[in-house]
Amino acid sequence: MTRQMKDSGIDWFGTMPDSWSINKISQYFKHHKQKNIGMQETNLLSLSYGKIKRRDINSGDGLLPESFEGYNIVDIDDVVLRMTDLQNDHNSLRQGIVNEKGILTSAYITIRKRNEVDSKFVYYQLFAFDIVKGYYGMGSGVRQGVTYSDICKLPLVLPKLIEQNAIVSLIDEKISTIDSIIGETKESIEELKKYKQSIITEAVTRGLNPNAPLKDSHIDWIGQIPEKWSINSISQYFTQVKDKNKNLVETNLLSLSYGKLKRKNINGGDGLLPESFEGYNIINYKDIVLRMTDLQNDHTSLRQGFVEEKGIITSAYITMRPQLKINSKFVYYQLYAFDINKGYYGMGSGVRQGVTYNDIKQLKLALPQIEEQNEIADSLDKLSADIESLISEKSELVVEYENYKKSIIFEYVTGKKEV
């Protein structure tokens, strides 16, 4: 028999089971504030992607030990809400449930139950409220700050405690299965990325013939290379491109992200006026772009891209253009291998360790004859496309499972599905 539903009167919630009741958070929870005076607790916790995890209190993140005395002591079943940066960040999951005693920044709001309620059920219902972007219409003032005074007024739609427990158990079980699949899929994606990296590195340093006799390249990160390959500097094959976009002759705006050059909307509202793009560089097919900014702080980004179409890119990046008979795609792949071996990070000089074209042009390339360069580049193009296709499929699968997880939580904690 289908249970009776009625209008909850709450826009985001919609209909609710007839037997469920509506109460405010303040009827079940209190605002929890317990400073870590005297460093009573040293189990440092953080809220990330909707989960509360341990952190190393001695990791050296710029906080001195006494700084943690102002942190909140939290305990199992407390619910934590991160109501900071609501204006700019509309993607983060903003609540977590505490699974162990520890300390959390007092910039977050912690609520602790004072009446009979399943905190995990409330966490899941707040999660549902979060994924429909409920928090972003709350708060007041210039910065739209959300405080406990706002949170305590939020309505909870609750079944009896025994049903709350049953719903939590069912969601936990389903989420555990989904998270396991997501974890395995993400591991598979990382393995594919590493496989791609190893294949590219092998091809641009050893060639495609595994039986070719080898010699020492005298380049640390490369090691041995085929005997017929030669060593030359980048400056022998490339020149730096400084072709300013005067009078906006080119409007195809490109950006470098994760090692790929992609189109961007020149009218995208990034704070740049049209004349700002007159200082950008005009780049052509087969150019190579290198992002040598922020080397001190960012050791994860891929720093070179291969230009597939004419356009413009910020002149803060280094662009170089092939001049002699060389396959610049092969060179791009060799620089990719240099990058994943963290080669750029030992370059540069000065306080900011700035890397300029004067540094880049001295880099050594290990080069086969042009015919072999072409063969290797074509082989890597096909291989990279095949691997990227697999990665894309698996990434889409992860998104589908993440959305499925959200829908399960939403359907059960709003009573649309019955346990």
Domains of the chain, CATH where assigned: 5-158 (3.90.220.20), 230-367 (3.90.220.20)
Closest CA to 20 of 1, 43, 41, 3: 3
Quick count: other Cβ atoms within 10 Å of Cβ 362?
11
> Looking up tokens 């022998």, which residue turns up?
236
Separation between Cα atoms, residue 146 and residue 187, nearest integer Å: 37
- The dihedral built from the CA positions of residue 32, 34, 35 and 36, taken in this order, carries a sign that is negative
Per the document, the length of the chain is 419
Contact present, 335 and 367 (Cβ < 8 Å): no
Contacts of 268 (CB under 8 A, 6+ apart): none
DSSP-derived 3-state class of residue 403: helix
Per-residue pLDDT of the chain (419 residues; tens, 9 = 90+): 578 999 999 999 999 999 999 999 999 999 999 999 999 999 999 998 889 999 998 876 666 677 899 999 999 999 999 998 887 777 889 999 999 999 999 999 999 999 899 999 999 999 999 999 999 878 654 456 789 999 999 999 999 999 999 999 999 999 999 999 999 999 999 999 999 999 999 999 999 999 999 999 999 999 999 999 999 999 999 999 999 999 899 999 999 988 899 999 888 766 666 678 999 999 999 999 999 988 877 778 899 999 999 999 999 999 999 998 899 999 999 999 999 999 998 786 554 557 899 999 999 999 999 999 999 999 999 999 999 999 999 999 999 999 999 999 999 999 999 99
What's 176-202 look like in SS3? HHHHHHHHHHHHHHHHHHHHHHHHHHH
β-strand partners of 104? 72
Please return the burial class of 337, using the count of CB atoms within 10 Å of its CB with bins 0-12, 13-18 and 19+: buried
